[in-house]
Amino acid sequence: MGTSASSAAAPAVIDALAWVHVREGRVLKVRSTGKDAYYLPGGKREPGESDAEALLREVEEELSVRLRPETLEPFAVIDAEAHGHAPGTRVRLTCYTAEHDGEPVPSREIEEIAWLGLDDAARCAPAGRRVLERLHERGLIG
């Protein structure tokens, strides 16, 4: 037919998972090496992985903690602009809460961890800002 598919192409969507962990009115965020914004710990599924398998693997790789799979609870699904990607790229972030074993420490590609509140929203990627807003609306963070 000779028509250009690029003009009708749907925007790219990054499908990712995140762990929402609140302590003393702040939520745990991470900053990857070389990045300028904070994100929720987590990442993308590998082929064949369930949400639980992928989230447990990603959080252990990033923070050296083990999430307890039996305590995973859905928190929210967030759709937002993907920070640091081509314009129009979206992220679909499926967020879970869970209890864990161990103390979070930066590992692998994580340069820094921080406990953030709503007043830190400008330091976070767009999807992370939406999670901060939801946590604040539910009275879980200040």
- Would you say residue 52 has pLDDT above 90? yes
CA–CA dist 100, 140 (Å, integer): 18
- Sorting pLDDT into bands at 50, 70 and 90, what band is 3? very low
Percentage of residues in the chain having pLDDT higher than 70 = 92
Helices marked H in 11-140:
51-63, 126-137
Averaged confidence pLDDT in the chain: 91
State the residue for tokens 């937002």: 80
- Would you say residue 95 has pLDDT above 90? yes
- pTM higher than 0.85: yes
Question: What are the residue boundaries of the structural domains of the chain, listed by start?
Answer: 18-137
- The CATH homologous superfamily to which domain 18-137 belongs is Nucleoside Triphosphate Pyrophosphohydrolase (3.90.79.10)
Average confidence (pLDDT) over 72-101: 93
Q: What is the pLDDT of residues 13-36, one digit of tens each?
A: 989 999 999 999 999 999 999 889
CA–CA dist 97, 71 (Å, integer): 8
Per-residue tokens: 131: 């999670």
Q: What is the pLDDT of residues 96-142, one digit of tens each?
A: 999 999 999 999 789 999 999 999 999 999 999 999 999 999 999 98
Quote the pLDDT of residue 108: 78
